[in-house]
Amino acid sequence: MTSFPSRYVALGDSFTEGVGDADERFPNGLRGWADRVAEQLASGNPEFRYANLAVRGRLLGPIIEEQLAPALALKPDLVSIYAGGNDMMRPKLDLDALVDRYDTAIAQLTESGARVLIFTAYDTGWSAFFGKLRGRMAIYNELVREVADRHGATIVDFWRFDEYQDLRMWDFDRLHMSPAGHQNMATHVLDAIGVDHNLTPPDLGPAPVLSKAESRAEDRAWTREFLVPWVARRVKGTSSGDGVSAKRPELAPAFQA
């Protein structure tokens, strides 16, 4: 059995900050999969400490510039990082340059002696809107797998998690995971690092069957309440993370929900 880590630091964007899993008991009003993982790692380990440096909306460059050095200074024995998702939604992107920069960061993390956990991007092929990015994400994933192989990082292969085709795994915006999605991701992460835990994947039961009219109404609401503001931020050059700070910038005991 794999020994439990004692110092876990999470890096990234909204995926790791926990957007979509609102809970006012937690910093930034968010719980998320990383907090759930930390709770499990803290079980029976009073020495366990956890920091989460992720900030929503961050591109890969700012994640590395703002989070890498502080993470290394905390001397973790486990690091998780997901970066690049926001870059892939930009109109123009040099994937090779992006992943080259990611490779350098992963090398620094693994050379510190920490176990490093990285993620593939999700397969959006079923989504009418985000499915247009499927080819770009597939190439990114292959490059990320090469990075993991080169540096001995552990992969959580989000691309292959078919259960996320259920819209109940997603928040209303269809971009961030719902509480059920975050719970499910936490089980995958703990399984990937080989740590025993008591989390179970959510049992959502049969998916509701919507009429065509109901589906169209949901799509119109999503376009009005998410897509239009999201596009407006891109046009203005603003980010959902503007003014947001890391919710757990220092190592501290995990909050027990």
Percent of the chain with pLDDT over 90: 72
pLDDT at 4: 77
Strands 49-52 and 115-119: unpaired
Counting residues of the chain whose pLDDT is more than 70, the rounded percentage is 94
Give residue 257's pLDDT.
67
Task: Tell me which DSSP letter residue 224 carries.
Answer: I
Residue 113 phi, psi dihedral angles, 5° rounding: 100, -5
CA distance 176 to 169: 9
- The string of pLDDT tens digits covering residues 224-237 is 777 777 677 776 67
Report pLDDT for 235.
67
Instruction: Note the pLDDT of residue 22.
Output: 96
Going by the DSSP 8-state scheme, the letter that residue 59 receives in this structure is -
Residue 115's identity, in one-letter code, is R
pTM summary value? 0.91
Per-residue pLDDT tens digits for 160-194:
999 999 989 999 888 899 999 999 999 999 999 99
Q: What mean pLDDT is reported for the chain?
A: 91
Per-residue pLDDT for 20 more than 70? yes
DSSP 8-state assignment for residue 22? B
Please report the pLDDT score of residue 177 as a whole number.
97
23-74 pLDDT, tens digit per residue, is: 999 999 999 999 999 999 999 899 999 999 999 999 999 999 999 999 999 9
Q: Which CATH number fits domain 7-252: 3.10.450.50, 3.40.50.1110, 3.40.640.10, 3.40.50.80?
A: 3.40.50.1110
**Residue 167's CB: how many other CB atoms inside 10 A?**
16
CA-to-CA distance for 84 and 104, rounded, in angstroms? 14
10 has pLDDT over 90: yes
Is the pLDDT score of 240 beyond 80?
Answer: no
pLDDT tens string 87-111:
998 888 999 999 999 999 999 999 9
pLDDT at 253 over 50: yes
Domain ranges of the chain: 7-252
Residue 3 is predicted with a pLDDT of 65
- The pLDDT of residue 44 is 84
Residue 235 near residue 16 (C-beta atoms within 8 A): no
Strand order in the sheet with 115-119: 154-156, 115-119, 78-82, 7-12, 49-52, 248-252
Q: Is the pLDDT of residue 1 over 60?
A: no
Q: What is the mean pLDDT of residues 208-214?
A: 77
